[in-house]
Chain A
Amino acid sequence: MSLERVLYVEDDKSIQAVAQLALETVGNLKLCICSSGEEALQRAVDFAPQLILLDVMMPGMDGPETLRRMRNEPALASIPAVFMTARTQQSEVQAYLELGAVDVIPKPFDPMQLADRVKSIWAVQ
């Protein structure tokens, strides 16, 4: 089985647009794009993603809090989650991993490599 369905949570519309092209067009992935943690929690169960890509800093519910709530939702609890963040100091990355993320993709990312990166993270899980 290969990776097909990715839930992508990002509040910045520009980055959304770039990642959408990178993941859908370049990577042939099926995306559910959410602009907030709240929206992601509402739509995640129905979409049944295989992997969750989460921005860290978002207004309202931030990435870590969104992940924590997903972990309490039986249907989502075991889906691997990856943080995408521009805050990549060592201590920060360590903290994200301790929150239960399987990996951290630093921003800015290479859009031509993004889908491959996401797929290889998923393959390892």
Chain B
Amino acid sequence: MTSEETRAQQERRLRALEGYAILDTPEERQFDELTQLAADICEVPVALISLIDRDRQWFKSHLGIEERETPLSNSFCARAVASHTLLMVVEDAREHPVFHDYEAVTGGGVRFYAGALLLSPKGEALGTLCVVDYQPRSLSAWQGQALQVLARQVVHQLELRRSNRLLEQEADQLQGLIDQVPVMLAQLDDQGRYLFANRDYRQWGGLEGVELKGRRPEELLPRTLLKKRQSRIRRCLKGQRIQAEEVSEDQRILDVVYLPMDIPEGQGVLIVGRDITESRRAEAIKNEFVSTVSHELRTPLTSIIGALGLATGGALGELPDKARGMLELAHGNSQRLKHLINDLLDMDKLVAGKMHFDMTAQSLAPLISQSMKEMALFNQEYGVDLQWQAPDKPVRARVDGYRFQQILTNLISNAIKFSPKGAPVLVELTQQDGWARISVRDQGPGIDQKAQSQLFQRFYQVDASSTREKGGTGLGLAISRELAERMNGQLWVESVPGEGSCFILALPLMGNGSGSKDTGKRHQTAREKEGNRLLALHVEDDQDLQRVLAMMAREVADFDGVTSLSQARQALSEHYYDLVLLDLDLPDGCGWSLLEDIQRIKPAPAVVVLSGMEAEVPDRFHVDAVLTKSRMSDEELHNTLSGFLNH
């Protein structure tokens, strides 16, 4: 063994020792118990856990002597480590050729020494578990074995200690990370007691420096914060995901999500809260800004468009041809500016989800006819052959009439603008697979595949130069598609370059057939809009019972109450409900007759029949649950309705 190898070995050993971070730590019971056992087994007064540092031996446990460290010179243990002797036994040091002049022997009176190597899992010798006596003695074979077993236990303890330390470091790191996350985070156990909370959560609840673990929010949080929180935690413990806005004591607005979360004890709750005060304020400022800008832009535009409109409209008398041409140009462009401002405001409202839709079930043909009349005026300039193919029988859909016409106007004006003079533009209304289809077909230049995919993006125009040539804003189709989707419809294009284009608007039909789900954008139900609650229609002529049920199910559903079939039909045509709670015995007929109307709604609301006695459901109807009024418990109602929440 060369001296370099020895040095390298020594460095490896010291690094291994360092990895345990054990040197100069306080005494620990689990190590002292092992030295006590070693001393008892070997029947000696001294037992040590000796770790060999660079220039000292340091004792993690030191039974029978006061010192916690001694120099390396004249160290039995250092010798055992350097020679890598698994069990070194010196029966009488005074007689031993090497150890007889060691200071511990000559000055300290040591006669007997036995040391078992402490070997790390990688085989590095860290030190020894050793026993010492002041008189010569021998070690029986089983005592030697026992000493080695105990030495391995010392290493296990060192390993365990290191693992715990790493885990603690990771936990600290994780806590540090969670504290840095700019959201409020807290976790509750299955009894609604805190498991942890991060810094933001503690700050928000005034809980800095408070020991949270094992305590409930109601013991710690100010009353104002608790108001609705307790019921939300209770509901979340039952498995509901809840999102709600909460206002803190200092009037900050929080967006809080309660997430059911599996923990070893069962179902816990993760609370995630975000302060949205600033974004709310920014939103309010932006809305005010948009409104102000639109006003400030429109005010001068009003007189520009007005003056040009009067001049080109002939209100100022006959104009020289050249002057008329120029003024018409200016008039057209001022109109374009007006449309651009309107489009920008529409897009802004759509993106912010602020556009209101007044959805009514209505026949589409009259709306299309009206738009065709308006577009006939626009067409005077272009002179295409505008044709409108009305259907044989009424086609009804739920739309906002104004927004529906906005889409049509956009599609038809595009078709007119991109068609050669005299070419046909055909508008057709048909029904197919539960969908009303309005198609606008032109014989313009057509659109290639790549452009088709980008056509509905904001500010996209197939040919950039056409923005100026055709006078569009580049927002029309993006807005139209958004509008179509907000009305539960779809808008797309079918086109072959050179053969014209066909834009198709599809809306779910009302009043017959069934909209096949795969061709339609899924309806956004009231439940999705309002968070995890049901919007239910309760059809029941006993208003007291309506109130009682609304109370019983207040945690899962909001109820609209009606007392007759006719009111129910009206309500169903005006709103979308997740669920209909239906009494069978109503003043204007039997509840079954309403099922036909309900099953035409796509997607159909869930139906729970509430009957006075046991009711048989006729074969042709689908009912999700039947409850008997006289036997129904609070819990049964709650559980039945909760079942629809988790769909």
Contacts and interface: CB of A to CB of B under 8 A. Distances in A.
Interface in B211-253: none
B436 to A, nearest CB: 25
A89 B217 CA distance: 43
Contact of B356 (A25, A26, A88, A90): A90
B contact patch SS: helix
A70 B301 CA distance: 29
5 contacts: A15-B303, A87-B295, A109-B306, A111-B313, A112-B313
Given A15-B299, A19-B306, A86-B295, 13 more contacts: A12-B303, A15-B302, A15-B306, A18-B307, A21-B315, A57-B295, A87-B291, A89-B291, A108-B306, A109-B306, A111-B313, A111-B315, A112-B310
Contact of B291 (A12, A17, A92): A92
A107 B309 CA distance: 13
Contacts of A57: 295
A104 to B, nearest CB: 13
B306 A89 contact: no
Interface string A57-100: 10000000000000000000000000001111110100000000
Given A89-B345, A108-B301, A112-B315, A18 B310 contact: yes
A90 B306 CA distance: 24
Interface of B: 291, 294-295, 297-307, 309-310, 313, 315-316, 334, 338, 345, 349, 355-356
**In which size bucket is the chain A interface?**
20 to 34
A103 to B, nearest CB: 15
Contacts of A19: 306
Q: Pick from A12, A15, A109, A111 the residue with the most CB of B within 10 Å.
A: A111
Contacts of B301: 107-108
A18 B349 CA distance: 30
Contact of B302 (A21, A86, A87, A112): A86
Contact of B305 (A21, A89, A90, A108): A108
A contact patch SS: helix
Contacts of A4: none
B302 A107 contact: yes
Given A21-B310, A25-B315, A90-B356, A14 B303 contact: yes
B309 A111 contact: yes
A116 interface: no
Contact of B298 (A17, A18, A22, A108): A108
A39 interface: no
A107 B294 CA distance: 10
A110 B298 contact: no
B191 to A, nearest CB: 46
A111 B315 CA distance: 9
Contacts of B356: 90
B104 to A, nearest CB: 93
A96 to B, nearest CB: 13
Contacts of B299: 12, 15, 86, 107
Closest 5 CB pairs of A and B: A18-B306, A86-B298, A14-B303, A112-B313, A108-B302
Contacts of A90: 355-356
A86 B306 contact: no
Contacts of B316: 21
Contacts of A108: 298, 301-302, 304-306, 334, 338
Contacts of B305: 108-111
A99 B338 CA distance: 27
A17 B309 CA distance: 13
Nearest to A106: B298
B397 to A, nearest CB: 22
Nearest to A12: B299
